Chains A and B, each alone.
Chain A
Amino acid sequence: AQSVTQLDSHVSVSEGTPVLLRCNYSSSYSPSLFWYVQHPNKGLQLLLKYTSAATLVKGINGFEAEFKKSETSFHLTKPSAHMSDAAEYFCVVSSSAQAGGYNKLIFGAGTRLAAHP
């Protein structure tokens, strides 16, 4: 079965310092992986996605993530946090037809990022 584990439920950073949100996944097949962001009282917005092309994926707002198959990880990083980055972030794996699903998104529990001055 496929699953996603976000290792931190809350992360707090100072503005201008690096951000690291950790994600590990479990999949028997080559996964598609995503990071979504949810700002307070808003819907979900795609930050970036990995679909078996380059392992280092760049997304919007300066975020990037690196797919590491040997570590089954897809950590999200940003060199310098901004106050506007405060939100909840979801690591997501897309279930494949081989795994018994079709375009089903399996969400991690989420990491709430707080950025303070």
Chain B
Amino acid sequence: EAQVTQNPRYLITVTGKKLTVTCSQNMNHEYMSWYRQDPGLGLRQIYYSMNVEVTDKGDVPEGYKVSRKEKRNFPLILESPSPNQTSLYFCASSTGLALNGGYNEQFFGPGTRLTVL
């Protein structure tokens, strides 16, 4: 089954304790991205990757790191989490550009609910 998986689905941690949220896709997509969802703000992009070893900042990158060593995996790293990073996080993947010049849909993982105390 074509899917994007994230782990863990739920995580409660304390301020300053490094954590990693994993994301994996089995669709051979080149493009992957991380978003955070906060009430009333919709989803905001944290980082994205156009391909292996190519990553770039989104709208809210502060406090986050990513890496793309393999095509299928795109982990999100919080080196020193703070309470303002309490949020619902989504990983997404896509083939990128469509043949007509538009953009193909992005497929989303199930989400990771993170609480930082």
Using a CB–CB cutoff of 8 Å, the interface residues on chain A facing chain B are: 4, 9, 32, 34, 36, 42-46, 49, 51-53, 90, 94, 96, 102-105, 107-110
Using a CB–CB cutoff of 8 Å, the interface residues on chain B facing chain A are: 31, 33, 35, 40-45, 48, 50, 56, 58, 90, 92, 94, 96-98, 100-111
**Roughly how many angstroms separate A18 CA and B107 CA in the complex, as a whole number?**
28
B105: nearest chain-A partner, CB-CB: A46
A5, chain B: closest CB distance, angstroms: 11
**Roughly how many angstroms separate A42 CA and B56 CA in the complex, as a whole number?**
27
Please provide the 4 A-B residue pairs with the shortest distance between their CB atoms, ordered closest to farther: A51-B102, A107-B42, A94-B103, A32-B102
Task: Say whether, besides A51-B100, A53-B100, A105 and B110 are in contact (CB < 8 Å).
Answer: no
Task: Say whether, besides A44-B90, A104-B48, A104-B58, A109 and B108 are in contact (CB < 8 Å).
Answer: no
**Roughly how many angstroms separate A103 CA and B111 CA in the complex, as a whole number?**
20
Inter-chain contact A43/B98, CB cutoff 8 Å: no
Inter-chain contact A105/B45, CB cutoff 8 Å: yes
Task: Say whether, besides A43-B90, A44-B90, A107 and B103 are in contact (CB < 8 Å).
Answer: no
Residues of B within 8 A of A105 (CB): 33, 35, 43, 45, 92, 106
**Roughly how many angstroms separate A94 CA and B43 CA in the complex, as a whole number?**
13
Inter-chain contact A103/B109, CB cutoff 8 Å: no
